[in-house]
Chain A
Amino acid sequence: MLGYIRNRLFSLIIVLIGVTMLSFIFSNISSVDPAEALARRSMLSPTPKQIEEIRKEMGLNLPIYQQYLNWLWGALRGELGISLLTRNPVAADLAEKLPATFLIVGLASLWIIIITVPLSILSALKKGSFFDHTLRMITIFGISIPNFWLGFILLVAFAIMLPFFKVVDYGNFKSLILPSFTIAIPMAASSIRLLRATILANMNKDFVIYAKARGISNSRIIWQHILKNSLPPMITVFCQYLGYMIAGSAIVETVFSWPGIGSHLVNAIIGRDLPTINGCVLVIAVLFVFFNLLADLVNSMINPKMLNEKGEF
């Protein structure tokens, strides 16, 4: 088990290096010169000499691999540079934005669980019923609907036409509801499909027939036997969803003007704020990889086949 974790951590580091390298290369391919962009923002009409000085100061005159190594060395010590837009340390900005993202992702996770578990059980138990068919249509719709569009629709419906919510709002529970729902709906839709299929597959397993033959009550068969065996794949997928939701927060946060890491990244991209872009990519990648690792760990922990006879790893 420990060897397994070591292997996973090793591959995790490789993934992170790969992702940040790509982020570095892509931001350098762009035609806009960040030194010039910064110079124009701080001075009215910068001379080429002034731009060159800024370039030097930012280390942008070095070859790209040198820039990357410098950045990596800083990142290892927790220094992600200074944001060109806010003039704050990138790490400080991120620390300020992350809680907002965690808040909606956390609430979205709650919605996903609340929506998925009962609906999946019901539609599996009533397979082929009107309810099952209707839910299937809704989930297909929910999976295929683009996130930003869903966000706009919800905004128009519940903040403009029926003004339950404010279009731009932050800081109270009510402001969390629309953005978290927007993130949750596609995830809930696909997890309903998955959980329903898993439950149905488990319903015909030998151990369920044997439980019936032993006279176990239906509710116990559903919860103890069917659901208990259907949850492990769900938990894996759910942990992966956490990663996706954070990585995909950019679009939804922009639609709802939500001050999290996603909209922070979008602003940085628009403003050519290279240190912030790289910092955001790093944090999102770390979180994404972390939740994937967590998915594997949780799965092996709840699966008795991964345990030895003593019940330990």
Chain B
Amino acid sequence: MKNSLEIKDLNISLVGNKNPLVQNLSFDVRKGKILGIVGESGSGKTLTCKAIIKLLNEKVFKVSGSIKLDGNNILTMSEKQSRAVIGKDISMIMQNPMTAFNPMMKIGQHIVETIKAHTELTKKQAYALGSSALEEMNLQRVAEIMNSYPHTLSGGMLQRVMIAIALMLEPSIIIADEATTALDVKNQAIILEQFQRMRDIGIGLLVVTHDFGVIAQVADDVLVMKAGEIIEQGSVYQIFYNPKTEYTKELLQSRFLVDEEQLCLV
């Protein structure tokens, strides 16, 4: 299987501070596979995601190494080049759907501006493309949603809208940082189903979570991060049935202790 997103020796530190926040990270996200990243709070998961889509402020963070999408290094691209890739070839699903949308703009405007930023489509064509993307997400009354302000929709609906936006430009990679954390169990299940659908259509997914239940359900491979480093990686079976480090065992155990019932359902 072709490697789609290759990350090599990724280091992130604060400008003017030698201590790395993320250290020597190397991993691949393959097309048609879901890579899960787990790790305790502050282990650098979000920083890694933000580095991939160039969201880290250059004045604050020093990023080195290489992040290659289909062979092209995002880190060395000009701003214009990377902006053409980000949001099109790599898209992001944010953690908190309730705050991710501009409260002064309708859903349709968000969708149209995203399409227009990456394609030559007219407004009308963009609107049609966005509507069909929403329909694919099993959303009802699409025209109404397009014409709604974000605050009138529920968190679960907004998360599905966000997935529709992520999918509509046919990306090769989707990054989801704690994309299910803010949702209830029912909506969580809907989103996880969508993740599997994305995998089936050949998209590579990077799913960041602190929830082993999510990993168990959807991930093919798992990275375990601690203090900015990968301390263990392998297939989901290896990590669950044969964890090598104490840290992973502890993470698994705390998960079992807290959510035993939920895991049984999994």
Contact with A along B76-103 (1 / 0, CB 8 A): 0000000111111001101010011111
Of the candidates B103, B114, B152, the one whose C-beta lies within 8 Å of that of A215 is B114
With the chains together, A311 CA to B147 CA distance in Å?
Answer: 9
Is A228 a contact of B105 with CB atoms below 8 Å? yes
A49 interfacial contact with B, CB 8 Å:
no
Which residues from chain A contact B87 at a C-beta distance below 8 Å?
213-216
Nearest A residue to B85 by beta-carbon distance? A215
Of the candidates B84, B91, B152, the one whose C-beta lies within 8 Å of that of A309 is B152
Which residues from chain A contact B114 at a C-beta distance below 8 Å?
214-216
A305 interfacial contact with B, CB 8 Å:
yes
Of the candidates A220, A229, A305, the one whose C-beta lies within 8 Å of that of B113 is A220
B117 interfacial contact with A, CB 8 Å:
yes
A18 interfacial contact with B, CB 8 Å:
no
Contact with B along A212-225 (1 / 0, CB 8 A): 11111100100011
Is B102 a contact of A228 with CB atoms below 8 Å? yes
Of the candidates A212, A217, A225, the one whose C-beta lies within 8 Å of that of B102 is A225
Q: Chain B nearest CB: distance from A203 CB in Å? A: 10
User: Given A207-B102, A214-B114, are A304 and B88 neighbors across the interface (CB < 8 Å)?
Assistant: no
Is B94 a contact of A215 with CB atoms below 8 Å? no
Of the candidates A210, A215, A304, the one whose C-beta lies within 8 Å of that of B100 is A210
A211 interfacial contact with B, CB 8 Å:
yes
Which residues from chain A contact B103 at a C-beta distance below 8 Å?
207, 229, 304-305
Nearest A residue to B175 by beta-carbon distance? A213
A307 interfacial contact with B, CB 8 Å:
yes
User: Given A213-B92, A215-B86, A305-B149, are A205 and B99 neighbors across the interface (CB < 8 Å)?
Assistant: yes
Which residues from chain A contact B149 at a C-beta distance below 8 Å?
304-305, 307
Which residues from chain A contact B92 at a C-beta distance below 8 Å?
210, 213-214
User: B144-178: which have CB < 8 Å to A?
Assistant: 147-149, 151-152, 165
Is B117 a contact of A214 with CB atoms below 8 Å? yes
Kindly name the residue among B100, B117, B147 whose own CB sees the greatest number of chain A CB atoms within 10 A: B100
With the chains together, A311 CA to B110 CA distance in Å?
Answer: 17
Nearest A residue to B144 by beta-carbon distance? A309
Is B53 a contact of A213 with CB atoms below 8 Å? yes
Of the candidates B84, B91, B101, B152, the one whose C-beta lies within 8 Å of that of A213 is B91
Nearest B residue to A211 by beta-carbon distance? B102
B62 interfacial contact with A, CB 8 Å:
no
With the chains together, A309 CA to B153 CA distance in Å?
Answer: 10
Q: Chain A nearest CB: distance from B52 CB in Å? A: 10
Is A217 a contact of B83 with CB atoms below 8 Å? yes
B128 interfacial contact with A, CB 8 Å:
no
With the chains together, A299 CA to B231 CA distance in Å?
Answer: 52
User: A35-71: which have CB < 8 Å to B?
Assistant: none
Is A215 a contact of B102 with CB atoms below 8 Å? no
Is B118 a contact of A206 with CB atoms below 8 Å? no
User: Given A209-B94, A224-B113, A309-B148, are A215 and B101 neighbors across the interface (CB < 8 Å)?
Assistant: no
Q: Chain B nearest CB: distance from A297 CB in Å? A: 17
Is A229 a contact of B104 with CB atoms below 8 Å? yes
Nearest B residue to A310 by beta-carbon distance? B147
B201 interfacial contact with A, CB 8 Å:
no
Nearest B residue to A232 by beta-carbon distance? B104
With the chains together, A273 CA to B213 CA distance in Å?
Answer: 82
B55 interfacial contact with A, CB 8 Å:
yes
With the chains together, A225 CA to B94 CA distance in Å?
Answer: 17
Q: Chain A nearest CB: distance from B190 CB in Å? A: 20
Which residues from chain B contact A211 at a C-beta distance below 8 Å?
102
Kindly name the residue among B86, B91, B103, B147 whose own CB sees the greatest number of chain A CB atoms within 10 A: B103
Q: Chain B nearest CB: distance from A156 CB in Å? A: 44
Which residues from chain B contact A224 at a C-beta distance below 8 Å?
102, 105, 113
Kindly name the residue among B84, B149, B151 whose own CB sees the greatest number of chain A CB atoms within 10 A: B149
Which residues from chain B contact A302 at a C-beta distance below 8 Å?
104
Which residues from chain B contact A307 at a C-beta distance below 8 Å?
149
Listed by A's residue number, 10 A-B pairs whose Cβ atoms lie within 8 Å are: A206-B99, A207-B103, A213-B86, A214-B86, A215-B88, A215-B118, A216-B114, A302-B104, A303-B104, A304-B103
15 new A-B contacts at CB < 8 Å, known A210-B92, A213-B87, A213-B91:
A205-B99, A207-B100, A207-B103, A209-B94, A212-B86, A213-B53, A213-B92, A214-B165, A216-B114, A216-B117, A220-B117, A229-B102, A304-B149, A305-B103, A305-B151
Which 7 pairs between the two chains have the least Cβ-Cβ distance? Answer: A215-B87, A213-B92, A206-B99, A214-B87, A304-B149, A210-B100, A207-B102
